[in-house]
Amino acid sequence: MNEDDKRKVAMILRRKISWKPRNALEYELYNLAFQSTLTSLQSSQRETLDAARP
């Protein structure tokens, strides 16, 4: 994970910590978005590593 990815994850975590869901639906939607973001970052990282291989 490079520095830019670490900054993105830290920003997402700060938002998650400072934001409180008002109901169960908001909580589930937020968790789904958070998981999707992490999956996307991991996928991007894999693509970058694959592209760097000879």
Model pLDDT for residues 31-53, shown as the tens digit of each residue: 898 899 888 888 887 877 777 77
Please report the pLDDT score of residue 32 as a whole number: 92
Q: Which two tokens stand for residue 23?
A: 């109901």
**What tens digit of pLDDT does each residue of 4-35 get?**
888 888 888 887 777 678 899 998 998 898 89
Give me the DSSP letters along 15-47: HHHH---SSHHHHHHHHHHHHHHHHHHHHHHHH
Chain centroid to Cα 22, Å, comes to 21
pTM of the full structure: 0.48
